[in-house]
Amino acid sequence: MSNDEKGYGFKICVIGDGAVGKTSLIKKYTQGSFQKEYISTLGTQFSNYEEIIDGEKVRLFLWDIAGQDSFQALRQRFYIGSSGAIIVFSHAPEQIDSYNHVLRWLDDLKKHCGNIPIVLFGNKVDLVDDGELASNPNIPTSDAIVDKFVKENRFIGYYKTSALTGQGVTDAFKALVKKLYMIAKISSFS
């Protein structure tokens, strides 16, 4: 975005295993809608969205990157130029392995993007008992385990989300956008 247009533009990659809800989260945030049937993302999908932060226009370029292993070779090209990223895993019991792959996604991002702000989304919380997530240390995605992981790996935040109900979705996206905006403001004064 040029200086004449007034405002800021940020490319944000949304990554994670296939079927964890990346596309649904983006649609919930940008359109307020939810699509029940799963349609696999092929390669990548793009969404543009505008936010107003502190009275200034912030344009978001959301890159929804396919999580299937068959797209691994293409993925690194999609990371180029990213300002920030969102890694998504699923709290759904049948997708619990998606949490075990977060570190792989994080390593991939750091390898291709360096040290960019990253937020962790634990999606599909509508499919589990929130009390159990908070209190059961035997669940690999319990709050204590994920919070420790987030601190150790310097994510800017962790949000429990539901693309179905909308829980946490707006707060999670806005946390990243606000961080990117603050970094841009600080660097524009340098």
| Enclosing domain of residue 113 | 3-189
Residue 153 scores a pLDDT above 50: yes
Calculate what percentage of the chain has a pLDDT beyond 90. Answer: 65
CATH number of the CATH domain containing 126: 3.40.50.300
3-state SS class at 15: strand
Number of domains present in the structure of the chain: 1
Looking at residue 3, what is its pLDDT?
A: 43
The pLDDT tens digits for 85-101 are 999 999 999 999 999 99
The span from the CA of 64 to the CA of 47, in Å, is: 8
The pLDDT tens digits for 68-86 are 665 565 667 788 999 999 9
The span from the CA of 154 to the CA of 38, in Å, is: 31
Looking at residue 2, what is its pLDDT?
A: 40
**Which residues face 158 on adjacent strands?**
120
Sequence-separated (6 or more) residues with CB below 8 Å from residue 82: 11, 12, 13, 63, 109, 113, 116
Q: Do 157 and 118 touch, CB atoms closer than 8 A?
A: no
**This prediction's pTM:** 0.89
Sequence-separated (6 or more) residues with CB below 8 Å from residue 164: 24, 34, 124, 126
The pLDDT tens digits for 96-140 are 999 999 999 999 999 999 999 999 999 999 998 877 777 777 788
